Structure 1
Amino acid sequence: MSCPPSSIVYNTTLCACPPGQVLNFSTNRCTLFQAISDIQTDSGVDYSIGFPATIFDFDSIRKFTQSQAVFLEATLVMLLSWLVFCFFLRFMSPGDGRNAWFKIRWWISRLDISFATRHWLDDQKVVTKRKTELGGTFSIASWILFIGLFAALLYQTISKRSVEVHNIRATNAPDLASFVNDLEFNITTISSMSCSNLRGLDTLVTGNPGFIDERFSPLSGFANYSCHNTSQGPTITLRCSPCKLIQDNLYISWQYVDLSNNPATAVGFQFNLTARNQANKKHVSFVCGTLKNGSSFDDKPVTFRGRDANILKFNLFPRIYRNLHDLRLIQPLFHEFLPGSSLYESSQLHASLENSNDGLINTTLYVNLLSAYIVEINNQNIMGPVSFLADLGGLYCISIGIFFYLLVQFEYRIKKIRNEDSVLRKIRNRRKAQDHWDKEICKVHLGLQYIG
């Protein structure tokens, strides 16, 4: 196969992609690796919802209600729409009580359920029950506000009814021995290499290198390991099941070496570390992400190649979930990426490709067990039935109080409104009397016709 366009030719006949680019075998072209360096972590435990998911599908509700603001905005829109509608009706003439405007205004006055006996009254007069159009408007407005605030309160109660409490305590070897988790490490070297380039994946180093506690042991005694080819490059998989972690530091190293017309070059790394409790396999904690280069390169495209090791540092954080029957789950966390030998100029990469001493990629997986402390996690309910009822009563008082104050101010400042209920009743009574009169006249005419 001929060299891809714009590739680097070295040793007369061999070729490699420029810095930051990886060979696409299907098109025989070098493409720039443009993934965003992103780290995602999940604890494997969801605290927000305590109801059975089969009864309440809260995941679908969250798509439309991301916060209380959605309920408050909907309440405001409905409230303003109702007030504007009622304000518009007040400019419509009731006529003789037979048109549609009068009927709508009359039924709005019948909706006066909250302020029927709380209207403007002259001094030293008996309190009488009055249903006015303004009272009906504000009664429905108060209930719209109350129902909207009640929905927001329910959302808060469901989504934030408890707080997560973390208690950190010192630990010892027996505590750590009780954490029996299944651990899986997947490290993908993004490149055009394959597992044929892999060398040296067989040794586990524990302790602190260079100190008295440093130990070497076969990697097979700690985990099952394998390499498989993917579309993005070779993936190293380490599975430890069951995994009892007592040592603080673990080091696992491997190398990729040059092969004929397949140099040891890489443009980044992808990782995925998961932990699962053997007794409760429902909960899985993980950390995954993509690494392109070190911060010192200002996000420039680079190619990793050379003797200096690329070190991926991870922490294992033991956690006990008291609210889940003392679930013991290790949380993997990404700590740091220390890039090794890397090249970001074409001339540098060309010189390295022609130097046999640079024909490898050293990679080290460094795992640090944070064994000094254990985090105990529990939930404390912050919303009991008494506090919920107190909040509900407060929302009702606020909703009624706001519109009662507006009602009093309108009737105090606009004298015409004080007797508007009697105006509507007079129009309605006059219409009924006219209807009765017309009916009697009709009977008289029919009687006279019968006599005649």
Structure 2
Amino acid sequence: MECPKNALSYNGTHCACPVGQLLNTTTNSCEVFGTRSEIFTDSGVDLYALSFPETIFSFDSIRNFTQSQAVFLEATLVLLLSWLAFCFFLRFFKLRDGRNLVFNLRWWISRLDVCFATRHWLDDQSTVKKRKTELGGTFSIASWILFIGLFAALLYQIISKRTIEIHNVKAANAPELASFINDMEFNITAVSSMSCSNLRGIGTLVTGDPGFPGFRFDSLSNFVGYSCHNTSAGPTITLKCSNCRLRHDYMYISWLFVDLPDNPATAVGFHFNFTAKDHANKKHTSFVGGTLKNGSVLSDRPVTFRGLGANVLKFSLFPRIYHNFNDLRLIQPLFHEFVPGSHYADDAQLQASLESSTDGLINTTLFVNYLSSYIVEIDNQNIMGPGKNFASSVHYTNWHMFSK
């Protein structure tokens, strides 16, 4: 059997890609996995959120656009240019007998001159003879458009600075935590040339803190639905929970990828996304996602994951109440840490591992810490209204610690 280009051989007849490289089936060669390590987080709650389909518009660009003064300045420019173009093209139409629509429009434009030739208001029945009167109406309205647009941008700046978002942390109780009903989904892809045929050992949920009362093993299917599907990047594990009520502070889910003939258990990184949606209002979605190549330091040093040591992905779930959104209750998933397990940065070490029967697996563990002792309350506070003591020590401390 001929090995792909740049591949290394092991056990005489088998092939695998070197450290940090993936098999490109199109060119039948091993290529470096070039994606950077990075993490993305979205709270899912946006005061200026728009309801355009995600497949057509970029939400991030729309949000950035609508949350700045640029929207007023852009609208002002569009209106100003449209008005000037309208008046310019009217000059090319014939007046004919002075009774058509074009004549009436140009006459009313001349009547709008309040800045230049203003004496025509003294004799409103006289014939329009001077072109500067019509141009005066054009530029008078243009001046008003420019003034109103700039004033709106200034007013927006004043209003936007009057309120800030306050994050307050309070102790939680069981009834409040039970009110958090979210739809949650977790996807993790082992970036590799493997498939779901390599998957083993998934199906058990471990809850509680090891060594303490309440630590137990349960069937994963009793809590979430799970599946595996093949993608171009590798096998993707999907965990879904609809109408979830989380009751455990610590949760562990583990699975293995094992060697198959001519398909060793190796991976060059992990890609994940973790979402939580309000069950009643699907438009609000908290999200964290990213790509990991070599530990939580987001190092881009090429490595290949393989061996007995578990690769642990740690996430924290924050319950949040948005009082400024009709008491929306949304769980915010956050990436906490990636603890890499057995991995290799040297081709010779990887080759030795491929030839060892004890190293023929990738051990992965998802660890979720539900911070059920506290709830983050989010609200808007007016910092310029009468009777507001923004400088109070409690509010200032909360804002300083938890505001974005």
Is the TM-score greater than 0.5? yes
Question: Which residue identity lines up with residue 242 of structure 2 in the other structure?
Answer: S
1:275 aligned counterpart, secondary structure: strand
Distance in 2, Cα, partners of 1:290 & 1:49: 26
2:364 and 2:198 mapped to 1: Cα distance?
Answer: 13
CA RMSD of superposed structures (Å): 3.5
Q: Which amino acid aligns with 1:371?
A: S
Per-residue CA distance 1:50-97 (angstroms, 9 max, x = gap): 9x99xxx9x88877788559999xx9xxxxxxxxxxxxxxxxxxxxxx
Corresponding residue for residue 313 of structure 1: 314
Structure-2 residue corresponding to 1:121? none
Q: Which runs of 5+ in 1 are unaligned?
A: 76-110, 114-141, 386-452
- Larger proportion of helix: 1
- 2:40 is equivalent to residue 27 of structure 1: no
Larger Rg: 1
Instruction: Look up the match of 1:150.
Output: 151
1:44-83 equivalences in 2 (<5 Å): 44-48=44-48
Distance apart, 1:314 and its partner CA: 0.5
Residue deviations 1:9-43 (CA, integer Å, cap 9, x gap) = 00000010000001112221111111111111111
Q: Is the 8 Å Cα contact of residues 249 and 368 (structure 1) preserved in structure 2?
A: yes
For 1:370, the aligned partner's letter is: L
| Native 8 Å contact 2:296 2:339 kept in 1 | no
Residue 109 (structure 2) aligns with:
none
CA offsets, 1:308-361, max 9 Å, x none? 000000011101111222111101111111111010100010000001101000
Give, in whole Å, the separation in 2 of the partners of 1:261 and 1:223: 33
Does the C-alpha gap of structure 1 residues 61 and 341 become closer, same or farther in structure 2, counting only changes over 3 Å?
A: closer
Q: How many residues align?
A: 323
User: How far apart are the structure 2 equivalents of 1:175 and 1:3?
Assistant: 59
- Alignment match, 2:207: 206
Aligned to 2:123: none
User: What secondary structure sits across from 2:349 in the alignment?
Assistant: helix
Query: CA contact under 8 A between 2:49 and 2:63: conserved in structure 1?
Result: no
- Aligned partner of 2:97 in structure 1 is none
Q: Distance in 2 between matches of 1:155 and 1:251?
A: 48
Structure 1 residues 179 and 18: CA distance shift in structure 2, 3 A: same
- Please tell me whether the aligned partners of residues 268 and 304 of structure 2 are also in contact (alpha carbons under 8 angstroms): yes
Q: Residue 18 of structure 1 aligns with which residue?
A: 18
CA contact (8 A) 1:48 1:160 kept: no
Percent identical across equivalent pairs? 69
Q: Who is 2:220 aligned against?
A: 219
Quote the residue 2:265 is aligned against.
264
1:193 match: 194
Q: Distance in 2 between matches of 1:61 and 1:280?
A: 21
Cross-structure match for 2:163: 162
Residues 296 and 338, structure 2, Cα contact 8 Å, conserved in 1: no
C-alpha displacement at 1:147, in angstroms? 6.5
Counterpart AA for 1:26: T
Partner of 2:294: 293
Residues 24-423 of structure 1: pairs in structure 2 closer than 5 A: 24-48=24-48, 150-157=151-158, 159-160=160-161, 162-294=163-295, 298-382=299-383
Using a 3 Å threshold, how does the CA distance of structure 1 residues 183 and 278 change in structure 2: closer, same or farther?
same
Q: Distance in 2 between matches of 1:159 and 1:49?
A: 16
Which amino acid is the alignment partner of residue 187 of structure 1? Answer: I
SS at match of 2:283: coil
User: Structure 2 CA distance, aligned partners of 1:238 and 1:376?
Assistant: 28
1:323 aligned counterpart, secondary structure: helix
Question: Separation in 2 of the partners of 1:282 and 1:298?
Answer: 34
Q: State whether residues 229 and 235 of structure 2, in contact with CA within 8 Å, keep that contact through their aligned partners in structure 1.
A: yes
- For 1:5, give the aligned amino acid: K
CA distance in 1, matches of 2:296, 2:172: 35
My pick for the range that moved more, 372-381 or 250-259, is: 372-381
Separation in 2 of the partners of 1:49 and 1:234?
34
- Answer whether contact 1:48 1:159 (CA < 8 A) is retained: no
Rounded Cα–Cα distance in structure 1 between residues aligned with 2:189 and 2:159: 41
After the TM superposition, which segments of 4 or more aligned residues of structure 1 sit over 4 Å from their partners? Answer: 59-72, 142-149, 157-161, 295-298, 381-385
Is the alpha carbon distance of 1:227 and 1:201 closer, same or farther for their aligned partners in structure 2, counting shifts above 3 Å? same
Alpha-carbon distance in 2 for matches of 1:45, 1:10: 52
TM-score by length of 2: 0.71
Q: Any conservation in 2 of the 1:157–1:383 contact (CA below 8 Å)?
A: no
Q: Which residue of 2 aligns with 1:105?
A: none
Contact 2:191 2:270 in 1 (8 A): yes
Structure 2 segments unaligned to the other structure (5+ residues): 77-113, 117-142, 387-404
